[in-house]
Structure 1
């Protein structure tokens, strides 16, 4: 059987089974052994491994004497096609823990194998939650191994995940402490990785989380408790954390992670960066909260400091990687989708009933506006000072009151109708998108016709409908645009076959 696995000979496999039908059962009964699937996986015999796995699926989860499953061995050997084939049959294999409690994802991150990390996250996004025997997440391992590109991808996955419970998962993973309570931020400051610190600050990581020694990341920097001696980088990270903490305390502008529009044309060492910190220091405190220009200045110094540094030392992200920033609209979309996905069916039904009632009231207001409608073509008998002629069927309320009241009501109706449709059914088919737009458009047009009928004049009607109509038109297109944008970015990350096959 070993010879058949080494050769990848499927015919020999079945020949051995004909001679002894229980040959795979006996191998499976052995507690820790290199099965034919282990051998084939490590050598890259994908067809043989697939055949053996289909014949005896339990072999795929079996540990050998070294504590590795077949998927572990394929990962360690960089067998991308083999990994893809195994996960195509059983995607949960990536969550099987081996030696030291590490999963294949942990080993791929440790070795910086970006292609395999993408495949694992594509097949099983929840595998990012698995921890080792030392309570380390894959983020801890990526930071400890100084694999910044892998770390950035993992953070992007955590921040954009739309799975049920992903909001809580994002917070837990970014602030998870290992067996000594160190989060990814603690490890980053101990190993002096400013780029990692900046990504974590952008991701709203907890700055006041303490490890088992009772130290925050900033306290570790102030005490000089780190694994490397790099005073310049330490000062840069201290200023970053101080500004971020002051910004949160004073509810100021969030930390900006993008580079200046006109980056420096010459390389500058970390020493040059710290020469400017004295001018920045003092601006980042609670009494004098940092402005956007101040935080940009610190970021600018960090970018200059890292310019020209060896990629292996500071883990600068590869130039081929797509941007990781999440803009305000994308953040809003992700938060809304997460809330929607976390809502139970019972709560969803209650919210739907409430939205329908709101929409009914908002539509009924046009049919029966406050104060009523003029019933005849003459002056209001209760207001003899008003000499204007009021056409029958127009509102009695004053022009200014009518303007603001109907503006807010129309805006509420535009948002409510889209909310009902998105909450009721959010199918991905093209025909559903067309029907959704058509249904909402016809309903809103009927509303506008009714509103125009009761308006005192067309000028007032035009002022009222500008903002609600704009919101009504842009809201579904903005939703679809953000959805497509995130899907394209995710697809570029996870299924870039050319880059995956390059590992």
Structure 2
């Protein structure tokens, strides 16, 4: 008997239908003995063939013993779990035909075959299972995650697109929350998945201002996360569709939820706030605050790195000169000190001034943004604008000094000309912006004078 069983498993590994038929001729009951009731604790030959993709072998077994499709192994995997995870569409079709209810069976991790196929990115299997048993897509697992939560956690955007298109009741489906109150948008933003975030906010009825169990919106999670270059794109994608941070949301009475809005949620309208037409639009700083914070953090990082590792690098050893007459010594240079400071002290001083100015100015921007000052006050806006100009100008000067320092002497004239042209262009842009602001100020002042004179008359 053990020899027959071993031969059966060998045939399953090879996918040899001929060997299977030969074994069945020798022992017609060989498949009937492969049940958990007889002490079976590992996978059946059907598990093996389904995992390896031997379609004809699987169909031959199912024709003779369809009950084997319902047998689970020690990990609680059905053959359908294994075929789904591997993406064998034809085998999945054959197994589901035997018993569609197997689509709801859970493995040791609480996942059904459709969920396994989704996290593995098996598009064909997902399409087939959703078509046959669409309710399997609504099953939750673990901490209340839906299949969409699992797709986001495993970065399977193509599967998300398919599920959103195929599953009925789109609104409830995409806005479902896990036990922590996290929607799929919360997860996508927290994991900095730019493409997934864009798809969700532009192609689904996702609630952009839904809050989790801690009362945080997706934009709140982005603001609390580690700063990244992706933050700007994600923040813009969210802001465009009306996403807000919790601290930005005005009293509920100042907002309305228009009928038919794609983010409308009757049960919790406070999570989907749309500004009333009588309310003034958001000021520029409120909408761009997160972006400014990212830019200021990046500039501060650049300035810190430049200050701790100046152009030209640092001396790697000590060089001490001695006097043979009086035995006195003096250090020509010391390890860990700036080479530029010894070779070109004047240039190093200019570099230090501009780099420090940029560093301090960027830190000032961060401080101004996090201290909760009155953003809509003109004085605050003016101070912040000037600080941004100073920061960028200082970094431009730092770049000029750095480039000219490590440029070979025979190329210095060319490098100087190129860098200066760049700075001239930058100065022209700054001058143009200044003139526009100054012109706007003059116009406002002129209107104010006319108003005062008119009131006196």
- Normalization by structure 2: what TM-score? 0.48
Higher relative contact order (CA closer than 8 Å, sequence separation 6+): 1
- Normalization by structure 1: what TM-score? 0.44
Q: Greater CA radius of gyration, 1 or 2?
A: 2
